[in-house]
Amino acid sequence: MLKQAEGPGKIQGLVGSALAPLPLTPNQWTLLSVAAALAAGTVIAVRQDLAAGLVLFAVAALLDLVDGAVARARGEVSALGGFIDGVADRFVEALFLFSFMFYPLPIVLVDPKIWLAGLVFLGACMPSFIRAYADHKGVMTREKALALGGIFERSERLGLVIIGLAAGMLFSMQLFVYAIILASALSLVTIIQRLVEISRQAPQPKV
């Protein structure tokens, strides 16, 4: 496992060292990733150009990796930078999903916009909110809140959506809608898992 983890870390180190001399702060790299995602969403929603939009979203994803690499290379890692990066991640994910609300998708039971909105709420918003709110209200320690997991977190969610989109582009966009529905359902399961775990670990009222 250690050797597998060294590869990406070494690559990020090389990227950070190469880009650190540029006159851009880590937070500015983060904002560039949001700008690229905004351009990608606009291309998909307005121009209906799915291929170009996906290329721009790929650029946004790469820029999201650059900010952390540059921060480490410069020795500028900070809690504020991590916070901004996390907020930017949610913006990028939401822009990706929202852009498809303006793209012609087939109806599966209901308007696909409903499924997309459901995934934004159940996937991008609620799991993170539950974790942060549990810490904020003191029902569990910050360490335990950060350790809250579930069967379907952000990496799994994005992976399923991307696989569904690839299948949709190759065969039928109905498959993409099915992937959105499945991702929403599994995100709901993750929310329930976290709520159950918080209830189990929270201090019980004295009687």
Q: List the domains of the chain with CATH numbers.
A: 1-92 (1.20.120.1760), 104-207 (1.20.120.1760)
pLDDT at 127 (0 to 100) = 85
* Model confidence pLDDT, tens digit, residues 122-143: 988 888 888 888 888 777 778 7
The predicted model scores a pTM of 0.78
Q: Closest Cα to residue 165, out of 79, 44, 69?
A: 44
* Model confidence pLDDT, tens digit, residues 68-119: 788 888 787 778 878 888 888 888 888 889 999 999 999 999 999 999 999 9
Spot the catalytic one: 49, 89, 111, 135: 89
pLDDT at 4 (0 to 100) = 41
pLDDT at 78 (0 to 100) = 79
Q: For residue 15, is pLDDT > 80?
A: no
Q: For residue 148, is pLDDT > 80?
A: no
Lowest mean pLDDT of 27-36, 71-80, 174-183, 184-193, name the range: 71-80
- Per cent of the chain over pLDDT 90 is 26
Q: Closest Cα to residue 95, out of 166, 44, 161?
A: 44
pLDDT band at 205 (very low <50, low <70, confident <90, very high): low
pLDDT at 207 (0 to 100) = 54
- CB-based contacts of 168, cutoff 8 Å, min separation 6: 174, 175, 176, 177, 179
CA distances from 151 to 48, 134, 144, 168 (A): 33, 19, 17, 24
Residue pair 139/198 in contact by the 8 Å Cβ criterion: yes
Q: In terms of pLDDT, which residue wins out, 81 or 9? A: 81
Lowest mean pLDDT of 38-47, 139-148, 157-166, name the range: 139-148
Distance of CA 129 to the CA centre of its chain: 13
* Catalytic-residue membership of 64: no
Phi, psi (degrees; rounded to nearest 5) at 80:
-65, -40
Average per-residue pLDDT for the chain: 83
Per DSSP, the residues of 13-31 read HHHHHHHTTSS--HHHHHH
Question: Rounded CA gap, 49 and 58, in Å?
Answer: 14
Q: In terms of pLDDT, which residue wins out, 204 or 84? A: 84
Per DSSP, the residues of 98-109 read HHGGGS----BS
For the record, the structure tokens of 147 come out as 């350790």
Residue 145's CB: how many other CB atoms inside 10 A?
21
